[in-house]
Each structure stands twice: as structure tokens, then as C-alpha cells.
């Protein structure tokens, strides 16, 4: 059994982690911390966990965390970087679901996240936890930077095209749409049901924090910078991300190879589903499941390829991917605790 | 033209009042106040008003308000009672959309609202603004206590039965359901879309503030106290209240008269629609409209009568009823500015 | 491994059964039939099952079904009664998720379901599959009438009061609310999102088919007929039932015992959660889970007890309860395949 | 008073037309036809119209329609083209809300709509009813092809850039999102609330019927063909379209002029609202209103311009635009009957 601790478990990423870990056959949850809610039984805040998890939030306590095999950080940005050093030094593995270790360029990170980095030397050591790209490194990693939700959907959509050099990488477009749980569980007017439901809007066009993360991942595959316009939108639903990615083929004659190229690329990936040609993945088909479904289109005999990619932002886009990374790190079956089928309808 | 001021216009009741008054043919909005948002153009907070209302929030200013013919209070409970005296003395008419003047029994009010009343003598003078009951008094009133949303739906449903002495008034049940806009525009976790949508729950069973208001209204009609169990519920939609009211008939032979009794009672009421026997009013048929639709059922040849009643909580349950009261007070057509048809679908 | 067949798997009850059975550790799905969709891979209709279920719909075939240990009927009313006899005679166990075997009084059944019963003699033999009431009989049963969704929520709410003789059973009220998946997957205008979302309404007040089923169950516990007014409503959400049940206590002094009475009654029931006094169960806390959560209220020092009860209509109200019955019939752990935690948010 | 008839009033476009026309100060509705619903009072199908419209559906009758000044067709594609000739010859003005007269190239029309055109000679005569482009011609027109919903949102977004020759028109992208009312009021599984709510998906990537209509409009402004990738998506909300349009600037130095260029272009347009730089138009701010709100972005100092454009698909995208066209054709105030403010929240 893997002994795990969770730091900061009151948000949506945290409760999703709890839902997955409480049912995981190889995990024992040792502690779940929340400064503000210490003493509160977790099931009082999340009654869906009544009967499944008999644990209360506790004050973060390094001594307790150091006894864990693995600590997940489901905290706001800027927390994990202040605690990871001590845990890593104590031999504890760490998975940060926030953004502290995602961006290799420290200055770039500081610019987008608006703070100095408390632990730049660990950034270098951290492995970006996208298993479909980095599985071998994840296996050996002690510190994982768990990818953001948009970056997961967009990279899985575009990487096969980039790695195979098929598209013009100067003018990529990712028109992405997310359900409201992506905004987190903080009290706010903008995400009241009376405000956000029955409406649709773009946001963050000038620059969303996931932009440098996506560009970094695509550039690595491209072995050169990429040009990307990334426009996130808010969808009036709770869970789900849909990325609609546009790119121009360098050579129109490659159209016929695209479907099989994607199928080959993801043939051994249990959590990436390349759908049949002509499909339209729906976000609800991954609701609660650790799956990314992808479909490839090249409309109107043109040279613009349109990749559709859906994930559950809280699962493959956050907590599920973190559990997948844990499974890889500890030599468990990669789908241990992740076999739930999406809830439809 | 009636010159009106609005105190506290940033909440849902306030913006709904603005929507109705901006299109009202006989009204000039002089001022809309908000301490926290002073200086902000109203249309910056509510872009639906762009092009319709060229006004900014201003600090509450008695001198300005006293020049109005009528001041609406769309404030939290406890504000109107501190300002109404001065306005009333200055000859300004006042409509309070909050609860300060609704309950005649001052101690009862204090118990439910958790504060001392700042102006008990005005409570006596205030007229309860349910036009279908108090039209004559409203016409002459200088201070109106605009009814609560649940009380409007429940009273219009039950009053005909009580006034005609047809039911056992000791054991009334009002099972009421409200959309989330009823909770207001304050930042809160419980009303985030990710929390309240796709779920249904009861709340306030132990005692909701609208209970004494409903009981007061029913008791007046009954000329004696009534026994009422009132259970409010939260519906995952933005607007609408549906009250399902249960009462036992004293005499089963009166079943045949009920439909025509309701039709007669509300024959001259332009904003109460008694639907054909066997109907099921849907809240969406009153969305944005100042209408209460009612249907009468007596299921299974029994003696339990079931009254279904729907309103838009922000219109007939708040701002629309306030405008209706204004129209009556100023001798305008009762439906001036209130002729919009509900938005379906 | 239990070999199971499913007749009629294209509706919401059917796909939910598939979701549960595909992940069940002790089950092998042998066949899933659909006359209209024969040949279609199940995962083409329900892409959430892609990768989990490699089976196509097939024409109903008695020879195949007879080789099963258990056949589920997820068909419209009136189908199971024409096929059950042959399967039962062949020693196959049968669970009907429709209503064919729920009502013991054949004339009553015919009246409500508008057809003659094809197999009245099996009705007597059938066991009503509410485990919390009939576990011992279910264990030995060959034919199970799986309860309706509303009847499950209402009976679990009211039975403790009735069995203990605490309430006046002449005037019970069940004000019930259901999500739209309860209406099934048939094409219909009334349940288009543009019609049913953002609205709330009652329906079936004159008489819903679940009324006789609920009355039968309550009367059995009461050892006498009961008087029940049952009003179902439609909630703009996909899954969930909330029953608000009202009853008058015979003796007000019993108020203090109610909470512990419910806790005792359901102490050994893994799928009934009696919440702490004062709680408000939310339907989302059982979304996708085979749980009924119940809370007891007696508002305002009165003698009216209000029981709140929530289930997922497709799980504890249909497919989950069917799997629970299967587990009992085959001596498996009662929660085998039913341990999923509700998806929140 | 303009005497109008409506052919085919049972769909969402039809009822929206009724909602607008019933409240229009200069209109008298003479007849509303529906073969399938003849005799049914309109308010029985749409209870929101109870009290506002005392009219029943009638069988289409040429004699009656010929007495109208104007006939609206809110019929499926392919109907208006069989009846318009006779009405036009009788001097009746016609506005077709379907697609029969939108595409000038008859072969192209036949290809996309899958039928022969019954009246090609009228196509030439028909005026495309986008007032912001064709106001002068609309004024004199006898037959109007009312634009599609997506084409309205996309053309208003892109035309200023094209007319001013600022962008590369070979590689335009329109990533468009529509609420479910766009699919109409026909019974269908895909648009059941249990299917379409809480999910998001693309559709019609291979080729949507609005593609040739958009391309025709843009090409006219461009005086040459344009290259356009158009990907429509389904948003889980009732009303609203959001178009996110991407184009590359020929010259990066023009960035600074874009905001004022749009403001100038639409300065005299009462129904196009160019929002301040940096804005994010929300679909709810046009719910029920005949408004298109547009915002211009050029993210990350790049040369890709992103235009955000929102309309209510049933108002500015259908019935409202039809009424606007009527107002222009009959010399009424262009906003007569169209002054309603969007319903927020």
C-alpha cells in the first residue's frame, strides 16, 4: 500500500483526488490538510464521501507528511514550492497539481504567476507529468509537475502533428472551452449559477497562464518555438474541456495519413481514445473518467486540420492524471483506481 | 413622468427594477445609489443595459432622493427602516423591496430578522403591497412593504380557499421551490454553478423568514391564526418559484366549485392567470413577466386540494410587483411597463 | 462469475446497468438485446463505454438468454411479462426493472398500465426487490420486481414511521421531484433541453403510476390501507430524486425519538444513510451512487414530521438496486460493483 | 398598422416572432398557420402567450395571406419557395426566415439543401436581409431572405476587417458556438436535456449549411472568394451564439486602428454594440434582445486578430432581425417592437 498525504484538500481538485484515492486498491490516505478547515470531517464538507472516508482535515504537519510515501499538493499556486524541498530531501515523492514546477523558464514563470519562485533548483529536477510524453522519466521521478487542464487537452491534440513535422507551427490556434469547475471552489460572483449558467463567453484572450505551459510542451516536440493563439471560453456546465485546435498542413497530401498516424501514436495509451474518422467527441463521455478522446477532421478538402480533444478537467486534467502519475511512479498498474466509466447520461 | 430613485441597485432585485423602469413609459430614473460601486456606470456592471441606461451608481444622497416622487429600496434588510422616515416626512413615497415593513408584529420581526426595528411606528402605517388583496389601500399609501417572493406565490394560491372558508386552516402545507437568483448576487460557495446546478435540496425547514409573512397574510384572511408547514427548496435554474400547496377541504362536495371560485376571484386581476382545470403551470411561462399562474387539482377523488402557483421571483415576486404598486400609487395603468411576454424557450 | 443477459439495453436504465455491470467483478455480460439496434456496437451508441465493453446489441434470442444465470429486463412496461415465464421455467433468474410484476392486485395493475397482464400467476411469485424490506425473500427469489424510482425514495422515507405506528396514515403527502432522465431516452418535445431546462413544473397530479406501488408498500407495513397524496415534479437536472414527505405524528412526544429510530432502522443498511439531525440531503451527493440519504425534520415545534429523502433515480432508483438484488440473489457481497462514490462537483 | 401573416408558427422561430409581433405597436397579426396544429389556440401550445394573443393556428390559406401586407415564413427549408411567387405577384411583401432565398448560386443551394429549387428566378430578386449591409435595398425589397443565425454573428464580426482590406482572407477561421434552441423544436434524442445539457461538442465540421452563406457574404465584401474554416459547436444553454473569429492581419501596424474602425463602422447601427477594447461579450447580455455585441482582441502582440461576437440566435439571429427588416420595409422606426432589454440574470 502506498501511504499518501494530501496538502490542501478543500478545493475541487482535492475532493476529486479524495474520490479517486478513497477507492484506490493500493492506497492508504494518511492525512489531508487544510489550515482553514482543520478538525472538520471531510465528509461534512463533501457528503458524497460519507461512509467512504473517515478522516478529518488537519493542520499541515511536516512530521506526518514525511512519513508518507507520496504527498499530493492540491493547493493554490505558490504553496508547493515552499514545502517540496523538505519532503523531497526526506525521500518523499511529490506530485504538485498546481503550477509551481510546470514552467522550466523561471523568469517566464514569475512573469505569469506574479511572484518570485521559492525553489528554482527543484524546477529543473521536476518532471512534467504528461505520461503520454514522459512516461519513462515519470517512472524515476521524485517530483512531478502535474499538467494543467487546458495544456493536457491541447498537447495531446497537437503533439502527433508536430512530432511528425506535418504542420506549420507558426500559426496554431487552440480555441478551448472549459466547464465552470475549472474556476475552483472559491466564493465569487462571476461563477454563481445565476451568472455563469445559460451564458457563454471567452476570457483571458490577452494571455492565460496555460499559454506558456502549452507553448513549452509544443516547442519541445517541435525543437523550436511555436506560434500559438490560445482563446479559453467558459461553458455553462460543471465538468469538461473541449479543445478545438486548428493548424495548416504543410502538404495537403498527408491528409490521408492523419487518422492512422494518431491511432499509431496512441495505440498503447490506455487513456487516450482516438475516435473513428468523422467523430465528434462529447465532453460527457469522459465525465468522471481519466480519458482523453480525440477526433481528426480536415474539412472541405482544405489544408486546415481541425483536432477535437475532450477531457474531464478534474480527472485527466488534474486529479486523475496525478493518480496515473502515482501509479507509474510506484510501479502499479497504470489504471489502478482509474477504471471508472464516465457517467452518461 | 414619475421621478424615481433607487437605493441599492447592485443586486438582482435592483437590476430587475432597472430593466423594468428603463423601459417604463412614465418613469424618469433620477438616481441609483450604491455606496460600494459609486461612480461605476450601471451598464458596466450589467452590460445588458448598455444603450438603455446612461447612469452611474452614486452615493446615497438624501437631498437628491427627496426630490424624487418615489424611492425604491432594493437594499438588504435593515436599511430602508433607517431612511424611510425622512423621505416619508418629506412627502416622498417609498416602496421597500426588502422585509423591513412587512411584519406588523415588531417582536416577531425582530426575532426572525435578528435586529431591533429602527422605525416601528412606520410599520403600522406601511401597506402590504399585494395588489390582489390591498389595491385600495395601496392607492392611498405613502409607504409600501413589497411582499416577499415565496409569500406572493403562496398567498395568491391559498387565499381564495381561506377567504371562502373551504379548508382546514390548521394544517396547511406549502412545499415551495425557488430558482437560485432568489439567493441574491452575493459571492458564496453554495450558489456557485458547480455546486448548485445539477442538484436539488430543501433548506430552511426549521424556519424560513418568509414563514411569518405568509402566516400573517393567511391569518388576516382567515380572521384567525393558521397552521402552516413551509418547506422551501432550491431548484437548479435561475428564475422562478413554484409553490405546491396542500390543504384539506372541510366538505368534499365543494370540489366542483373550486375552479370557478378561483376564476371569479381573479377575474379582474390582469396579473393572475387561473389556468384551465388539469393544467400544470411551468415557471418558464412567467420568466421575465409579472404574472402569477395558478392551477387547482383535487387528485384521486380525495379531499386534499393541491394548488400549483408559479411566479418569476424577480418580477411578480419582487421588482415587477414593486412597479405594479408604483403604477397603482400614481394612478397609472396598472400594467404600464409590465406588458413584456415571458421569454420561451 | 454470474452470466447475465440484458433485454432492452438502449434506454437510460439499460446503459446504467451496463455501466455498473461492465465494472462488476463477478459478472460476465453474455448478451444485450435490442430489436431496433441489433448489430450496433454498444459503444457506438454510448461512447463512454468505448474500451470497457466490446459487445453489440443483438436480437432477443431465447436460446442465448436461457444459458444465462440471470436476465435483466430494462424494457418498456409489458415486455418482461411475455418472456419471463419461459426463462423462469428454464431455471434462469429474472429481474424486471419495469413495472410488470410490481403490483400484486392484477386489476389495479391493468387499470394503471392500460393493458391485460400476460402472466398473472408470476406476479404472485415475484418478490418486490426493495432489499431494506425484503432481503430474506430476495435471497430465495427467482423473479424480482425491481421497485420504481419514486417508490424507492418515498418508501425508505416513510416506512420507519409507519412500521412503528407513529403517524396518522390517512393523510400522507409525498411531494416528489425528479431529474429529467426519469422520463427516459425517447425522442420527445417536452424533454428537449430548450423546453425542460430552466423551468420547473408538477405533472401527473391526477394519478401517477407510481402511486399504487407506493400505497401497496406502505399499506403492507401499515397492515391497512393508507391515504396518500403524491405529486411528482420535474427538476431541470439530469439525475436525482428528492422526496419531501409530510406526515402528522399521533403523539408530539415522540419527536425526540425520531432521529434514533431511523438510525436504528437503517443501522445495518449499507445503502441507506441517515444524516445527522438538521441536515439537508442534496441529490448530487448520490449522483452515480447506489445510496439513499435521509434526513428527519419536525419544524416549528409542530406535530408535522418532514422526511427528506434523495436517491439517484437511475442507480438506487433502478439499475443500482437491480444489481444490489442480483448480489443478494447470488450470495455475493451486497455492494459488489456498487462502491463508486458520487461525482461531486 | 401593418397586417402580417405567419406561415408555420409552431417552431422556436415562430413563437419568437409571435412574442415580438404581439407586443409590436404597429402590427396586427392576421393569421398564423400550421397544418398539423390547425384549430389549436396558440396560447395552448405556448402558455407564455396566454392573455397576449387570442389566435388559433389555421390551415394555410392563400386568400387570407394575400390580404396581408407582409407574410413571414417560419417554415422548414423548402416551403417558402413554393408559395412566395403567388404572394409576391399579389403585391404582398415576404420575409423568409428559412434558407430558400439566401444563396444566389442555385446549384450551390441545391447541393447544400439537397433539393431542386422551386423558384430560382425569385432568388435573384430576393434581398439578403442583413440591415447593416443592405439597408437601402431592404427598404425597397419585396422579398427578403432573412440571414441565418451563425452567418449574422460571423459576418458582423468579420466584415469591417474585410471591407477595409486588413486581413488575409484565404485562411479565416470561425469557431462558433450555439445554444440548443438553434436545433429547433422537433422531437429528437440528441437534444433531450439528459443528452445535451452538461456536455459540449463540435458538429458539422465536414460542412454546415451556413458555410456557403457566410462565404457568399464575405466574398461580396472581399470582391473575391474567401477561405473559411467554420466549426460550429453545441453549448448547453437555451439561447445564444458566440462566434470566435480568427484572422491574420496583413500589416501588424494596423492593430492600433482596429477598435476605432469597428466603432466607426457601426456608429449608426442601433443593434450592433462595439464594446470597449478588452471586453468579453457574454451571450446572456443579448438574451431576448435584438443586439449583436462585438469585441476586438489582438493577443500577445501578435498579428492574429480575434473577434468575439454574440447574438441571441432567435432574435438578431432570426425573428428579431426579421422584424427589423419589416420595420425598414414599411418605413417604421427600425427599433419598433425591438426595444426589450436582455433578461439578466
Give residue-wise pLDDT tens across range A49-80: 999 999 999 999 999 999 999 999 999 999 99
Q: By C-alpha distance, which of A270, A271, A310, A308 is closest to A287?
A: A310
The three-state secondary structure class of D158 is helix
Note whether A236 contacts B: Cβ–Cβ < 8 A.
yes
Question: Which residue in B180, B187, B194 is closest to A189 by CB distance?
Answer: B187
Place of cell 431572405: D145
Q: What is the ipTM of this complex?
A: 0.97
- In chain B, which residues have their Cβ closer than 8 Å to the Cβ of C278? 206
User: What is the mean predicted confidence (pLDDT) over C320-329?
Assistant: 98
Active-site positions of D read 149
Note whether C284 contacts A: Cβ–Cβ < 8 A.
yes
**Which of D188, D194, D235, D344 would you mutate first to test chain C, the one with the most C CBs within 10 A?**
D194
Question: Which residue in A15, A286, A344 is closest to C15 by CB distance?
Answer: A344
Note whether B343 contacts D: Cβ–Cβ < 8 A.
yes
Query: What residue of D is the nearest CA neighbor of C198?
Result: D238
Neighbours of chain D (3+ CB pairs under 8 A): A, B, C
Total CB pairs under 8 A between chain A and B: 60
Q: Which segments of chain B belong to CATH 3.40.50.720?
A: 2-125
Q: Is the pLDDT of residue D269 over 90?
A: yes
- Around Cβ A52, how many Cβ atoms within 10 Å? 19
The three-state secondary structure class of C25 is coil
Mean pLDDT for chain D overall: 97
Note whether D293 contacts A: Cβ–Cβ < 8 A.
no
Handedness of CA A114, A119, A120, A122 (dihedral sign): negative
Subunit contact B173:C201, Cβ cutoff 8 A: no
pLDDT in tens, A262-300: 999 999 999 999 999 999 999 999 999 999 999 999 999
Q: Per the structure block, which three cell numbers stand in for D163?
A: 471591407
Subunit contact C343:A48, Cβ cutoff 8 A: yes
Element (H, E) at A339: none
pLDDT in tens, D233-250: 999 999 999 999 999 999
Q: By C-alpha distance, which of A100, A101, A6 is closest to A53?
A: A6
Question: Which residue in B179, B189, B193 is closest to A236 by CB distance?
Answer: B193
Q: Per the structure block, which three cell numbers stand in for C126?
A: 415475484
pLDDT in tens, D93-111: 999 999 999 999 999 999 9
Element (H, E) at D151: helix D149-163
Contact D221, D163 (CB under 8 A): yes
Instruction: Report the DSSP pairing between strands D241-248 and D304-311.
Output: antiparallel
Q: Is the pLDDT of residue C241 over 90?
A: yes
CATH top class, domain B150-313: alpha beta
Q: Which residues pair with B308 in a beta bridge?
A: B244, B295
Q: Per the structure block, which three cell numbers stand in for B252?
A: 368534499
Mean pLDDT for chain A overall: 97
- Around Cβ A127, how many Cβ atoms within 10 Å? 20
Q: Is the pLDDT of residue D25 over 90?
A: yes
Burial class (CB in 10 A: 0-12, 13-18, 19+), B251: exposed
Neighbours of chain C (3+ CB pairs under 8 A): A, B, D
CA distance A260 to B106: 77
CA distance B309 to B299: 16
Q: Considering only residues 241 to 270 of chain D, which have any Cβ-Cβ distance to chain A shorter than 8 Å?
A: 242, 244, 246, 248
Query: What residue of D is the nearest CA neighbor of B50?
Result: D273
Burial class (CB in 10 A: 0-12, 13-18, 19+), A66: middle
pLDDT in tens, A193-240: 999 999 999 999 999 999 999 999 999 999 999 999 999 999 999 999
What does the pLDDT read at residue A311? 98
Burial class (CB in 10 A: 0-12, 13-18, 19+), A121: exposed
- In chain B, which residues have their Cβ closer than 8 Å to the Cβ of A179? 194
Q: Which segments of chain B belong to CATH 3.30.360.10?
A: 150-313
Note whether B189 contacts A: Cβ–Cβ < 8 A.
yes
CA distance B326 to B329: 5
Contact C337, C323 (CB under 8 A): yes
CA distance A20 to A14: 10
User: What is the mean predicted confidence (pLDDT) over C173-192?
Assistant: 97
Note whether B342 contacts D: Cβ–Cβ < 8 A.
yes
Minimum distance, in Å, between the CA of residue A96 and any CA atom of chain C: 21
Contact A214, A207 (CB under 8 A): no
Q: Is the pLDDT of residue A9 over 90?
A: no
Note whether A135 contacts D: Cβ–Cβ < 8 A.
no
Minimum distance, in Å, between the CA of residue D118 and any CA atom of chain C: 31
Q: By C-alpha distance, which of A272, A265, A263 is closest to A310?
A: A272
Give the confidence band of B116 by pLDDT, cuts at 50, 70, 90: very high
Could you say which of A119, A149, A245, A292 is catalytic?
A: A149
pTM across the whole model: 0.97
Q: Is the pLDDT of residue C9 over 90?
A: no
Subunit contact D343:B288, Cβ cutoff 8 A: yes
User: What is the mean predicted confidence (pLDDT) over A89-118?
Assistant: 98
What does the pLDDT read at residue D9? 85
CA distance B82 to B76: 12
CA distance B88 to A25: 70
Q: At what angle do helices A149-163 and A210-222 cross, to 10 degrees?
A: 20
CA distance D79 to D91: 19
- In chain B, which residues have their Cβ closer than 8 Å to the Cβ of D50? 273, 275, 285, 293
CA distance D111 to A196: 40
Could you say which of B119, B149, B245, B292 is catalytic?
A: B149
User: What is the mean predicted confidence (pLDDT) over B280-302?
Assistant: 97
Contact D151, D208 (CB under 8 A): no
- Around Cβ B61, how many Cβ atoms within 10 Å? 12
Q: Per the structure block, which three cell numbers stand in for A14?
A: 482535492
Q: By C-alpha distance, which of C318, D327, C246 is closest to B245?
A: C246
pLDDT in tens, C193-208: 999 999 999 999 999 9
Question: Which residue in D181, D187, D198 is closest to C238 by CB distance?
Answer: D198
Q: Considering only residues 298 to 317 of chain D, which have any Cβ-Cβ distance to chain A shorter than 8 Å?
A: 299-300, 302, 304, 306, 308, 310
- In chain B, which residues have their Cβ closer than 8 Å to the Cβ of D342? 48
- In chain C, which residues have their Cβ closer than 8 Å to the Cβ of A288? 288, 343
Subunit contact A19:C239, Cβ cutoff 8 A: no
Neighbours of chain B (3+ CB pairs under 8 A): A, C, D
Q: What is the secondary structure of C46-69 as a DSSP string?
A: -GGGTTT---BEE---HHHHHTSS
- In chain C, which residues have their Cβ closer than 8 Å to the Cβ of B200? 177, 179, 235, 237, 240, 242, 282-283, 310
Overall size of chain D counted in residues:
345
Place of cell 399504487: C212
CA distance D98 to D120: 15
CA distance D31 to D6: 6
Subunit contact C48:A285, Cβ cutoff 8 A: yes
User: What is the mean predicted confidence (pLDDT) over C26-54?
Assistant: 94
Contact A133, A84 (CB under 8 A): no
Contact D14, D41 (CB under 8 A): no
The 8-class DSSP code of residue A318 comes to I
Note whether C231 contacts B: Cβ–Cβ < 8 A.
yes
Examine the residue annotation and report whether A119 is marked as an active-site residue of this protein.
Answer: no
Overall size of chain B counted in residues:
345
- Output the CA–CA distances (angstroms, integers) from residue D187 to B227, C192, D183, in the order listed: 45, 7, 10
CA distance A234 to A200: 6
User: What is the mean predicted confidence (pLDDT) over A34-43?
Assistant: 94
CA distance D192 to B215: 40
Q: Per the structure block, which three cell numbers stand in for A84?
A: 517540496
User: What is the mean predicted confidence (pLDDT) over B239-252?
Assistant: 98
Q: Is the pLDDT of residue C15 over 90?
A: yes
Handedness of CA A84, A85, A87, A93 (dihedral sign): positive
Query: What residue of B is the nearest CA neighbor of C282?
Result: B201
Task: Count Cα neighbours of B67 within 13 Å in the Cβ-side half-sphere.
Answer: 8
- In chain D, which residues have their Cβ closer than 8 Å to the Cβ of C193? 180, 191-193, 195-197, 236, 238
What does the pLDDT read at residue B323? 98
Give the confidence band of B9 by pLDDT, cuts at 50, 70, 90: confident
pLDDT in tens, C99-108: 999 999 999 9
Note whether D190 contacts A: Cβ–Cβ < 8 A.
no
- Output the CA–CA distances (angstroms, integers) from residue B333 to B327, B337, D67, in the order listed: 6, 9, 34
Place of cell 430558482: B179
Q: Per the structure block, which three cell numbers stand in for C165?
A: 405506528
CA distance C62 to D125: 64
- Around Cβ C63, how many Cβ atoms within 10 Å? 7
Q: Is the pLDDT of residue A131 over 90?
A: yes
Question: Which residue in D48, D239, D273 is closest to B342 by CB distance?
Answer: D48
The phi-psi region of residue D226 (left if phi > 0; otherwise alpha if psi is between -120 and 50; otherwise beta) is beta
Q: Is the pLDDT of residue C282 over 90?
A: yes
- In chain C, which residues have their Cβ closer than 8 Å to the Cβ of A287? 48, 343
Note whether B282 contacts C: Cβ–Cβ < 8 A.
yes
Overall size of chain C counted in residues:
345
pLDDT in tens, C81-96: 999 999 999 999 999 9
CATH of domain D2-125: 3.40.50.720
- In chain B, which residues have their Cβ closer than 8 Å to the Cβ of C194? 345
Overall size of chain A counted in residues:
345
Q: Per the structure block, which three cell numbers stand in for C287?
A: 449522483
What does the pLDDT read at residue D110? 97
**Which of C108, C149, C153, C175 would you mutate first to test chain B, the one with the most B CBs within 10 A?**
C175
The phi-psi region of residue C135 (left if phi > 0; otherwise alpha if psi is between -120 and 50; otherwise beta) is alpha
Name the percent of chain A lying above pLDDT 70.
Answer: 100
Q: Which residues pair with C235 in a beta bridge?
A: C179
Note whether B39 contacts C: Cβ–Cβ < 8 A.
no
Amino acid at each position: 500500500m502506498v501511504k499518501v498525504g494530501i496538502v490542501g484538500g478543500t478545493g475541487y481538485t482535492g475532493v476529486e483526488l479524495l474520490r479517486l484515492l478513497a477507492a484506490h486498491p493500493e492506497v492508504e490516505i494518511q492525512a489531508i490538510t487544510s489550515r482553514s478547515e482543520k478538525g472538520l470531517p471531510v465528509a461534512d464538507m463533501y457528503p458524497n464521501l460519507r461512509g467512504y472516508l473517515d478522516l478529518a482535515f488537519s493542520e499541515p504537519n511536516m512530521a506526518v507528511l514525511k512519513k508518507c510515501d507520496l504527498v499530493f499538493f492540491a493547493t493554490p499556486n505558490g504553496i508547493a514550492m515552499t514545502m517540496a524541498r523538505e519532503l523531497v530531501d526526506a525521500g518523499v515523492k511529490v506530485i504538485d497539481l498546481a503550477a509551481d514546477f510546470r514552467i522550466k523558464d523561471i523568469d517566464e514563470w514569475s512573469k505569469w504567476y506574479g511572484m518570485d519562485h521559492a525553489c528554482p533548483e527543484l524546477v529543473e529536477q521536476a518532471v512534467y507529468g504528461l505520461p503520454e510524453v514522459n512516461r519513462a522519466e515519470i517512472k524515476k521521478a521524485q517530483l512531478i509537475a502535474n499538467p494543467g487542464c487546458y495544456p493536457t487537452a491541447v498537447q495531446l491534440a497537437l503533439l502527433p502533428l508536430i512530432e511528425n513535422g506535418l504542420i506549420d507551427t507558426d500559426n496554431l490556434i487552440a480555441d478551448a472551452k472549459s466547464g465552470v469547475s475549472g474556476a475552483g471552489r472559491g466564493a465569487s460572483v462571476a461563477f454563481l449559477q445565476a451568472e455563469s449558467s445559460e451564458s457563454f463567453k471567452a476570457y483571458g484572450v490577452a494571455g492565460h497562464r496555460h499559454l506558456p505551459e502549452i507553448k513549452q510542451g509544443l516547442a519541445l516536440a517541435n525543437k523550436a518555438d511555436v506560434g500559438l493563439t490560445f482563446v479559453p471560453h467558459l461553458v455553462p456546465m460543471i465538468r469538461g474541456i473541449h479543445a478545438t485546435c486548428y493548424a495548416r498542413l504543410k502538404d495537403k497530401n498527408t491528409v490521408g495519413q492523419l487518422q492512422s498516424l494518431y491511432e499509431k501514436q496512441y495505440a498503447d495509451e490506455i487513456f487516450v481514445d482516438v475516435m473513428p474518422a468523422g467523430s465528434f467527441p462529447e465532453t460527457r463521455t469522459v465525465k468522471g473518467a481519466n480519458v482523453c478522446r480525440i477526433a481528426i477532421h480536415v474539412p472541405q478538402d482544405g489544408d486546415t486540420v481541425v483536432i477535437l480533444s475532450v477531457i474531464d478537467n478534474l480527472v485527466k486534467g488534474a486529479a486523475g492524471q496525478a493518480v496515473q502519475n502515482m501509479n507509474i511512479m510506484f510501479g502499479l498498474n497504470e489504471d489502478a483506481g482509474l477504471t471508472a466509466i464516465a457517467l452518461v447520461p
